[in-house]
Amino acid sequence: MTRVLIVEDNQDLAFGLRNNLEIEGHVVEVAADGPAGVAAARAVGPDLVVLDLMLPGMDGYRVLRQMREDGLTMPVLILTAKGEEADKVLGFRLGADDYVTKPFGVLELLARVEALLRRGRPTLVQPPVTIRGFGDVDLDLSTRIVRRDGQVVALTPMEFDLLVALLRRNGAVASRLELLAEVWGHSAAVLTRTVDTHVGELRRKLEHDPSAPKHILTVRKAGYRLAN
């Protein structure tokens, strides 16, 4: 049974989310402000956190940063009323895995939650090849460790899964919708900016010159591909 932590100060919204998640069979904890959210994440060790950005006491960005600094690696789904690209990029850089912009439909949120939980569950089948690479980057698929020039690079779970999805295509092009479905588990065309934002983060972390990438390439009107 999975445990979900909701960090949301709007009591009506928190109640509705809790009710729907419990109907789906999850055990749900709720925290109403930032400090309580950090404390609950430490104490409960949830399988997933649903995190509002606008919180009393400590905003969602600071909560997320503190959780990651504490070594908490569970998936985090951000709830935000902000639609600016910069807000989403900041969330991803701090370690968020996905986001939903308010107002949102309950079915959409539940689908995102289930997709993130699926990605977080261990698989019993180990990949036949554990070390893959391109350029000066190496990936260990069994430990999910990425190194560039021998130095470990911290990727979020979704960044790692996106990189693996590109790597396994052996240079073939993957469309944004294909990547969205494979990595995030949903396929709404309006969400393809999620892929673009994560690709931008991969370039920032793994390319020597992110503005002129040599490996994580855009194929105009088609998608992305990985070049050695």
**pLDDT per position as a tens digit, 121-150:** 654 444 455 777 899 999 988 888 899 998
Higher pLDDT, 125 or 51: 51
What are the φ and ψ backbone dihedral angles of 178, each rounded to 5 degrees? -65, -45
Higher pLDDT, 80 or 16: 16
Higher pLDDT, 81 or 120: 81
Task: Count Cβ neighbours within 10 Å for each residue of 64-83 and write b for 16 or more, e otherwise.
Answer: bbbbbeeebebbbbbbbebe
**Numbered ranges of CATH 1.10.10.10 in the chain:** 131-226
Beta carbons of 194 and 77 less than 8 angstroms apart: no
Token digits of residue 57: 């006491």
pLDDT number for residue 104: 85
pLDDT number for residue 83: 63
CATH number, domain 3-120, options 1.10.10.410, 3.40.50.1000, 3.10.300.10, 3.40.50.2300: 3.40.50.2300
Beta carbons of 48 and 109 less than 8 angstroms apart: no
Residue 85 has pLDDT above 80, yes or no: no
Compute the average pLDDT of residues 171-182.
Answer: 89
Residue 120 has pLDDT above 70, yes or no: no
pLDDT number for residue 180: 84
Higher pLDDT, 32 or 197: 32
The region of weakest confidence among 118-122, 144-148, 168-172, 198-202 is 118-122
Q: Which fold has domain 131-226?
A: Arc Repressor Mutant, subunit A (1.10.10)
List all residues 6 or more positions away from 21 whose beta carbon is below 8 Å from its beta carbon. 4, 6, 28, 110, 113
- Going 102 to 104 to 110 to 114, the CA torsion angle's sign is negative
Contacts 24+ apart (CB under 8 A), 185-189: 185/111, 185/112, 185/114, 185/115, 185/116, 185/118, 185/119, 186/111, 186/112, 186/115, 188/108
Query: pLDDT band for position 186 (50/70/90)?
Result: low
In angstroms, the CA 52 to CA 12 distance is: 13
Q: pTM of the predicted model, to two decimals?
A: 0.68
The region of weakest confidence among 16-25, 64-73, 86-95, 172-181 is 86-95
**Numbered ranges of CATH 3.40.50.2300 in the chain:** 3-120
In angstroms, the CA 157 to CA 53 distance is: 20
By DSSP bridging, strand 131-134 and strand 137-140 are antiparallel
**Of residues 98, 108, 92, the one with CA closest to residue 48:** 98
In angstroms, the CA 164 to CA 151 distance is: 18
In angstroms, the CA 86 to CA 128 distance is: 39
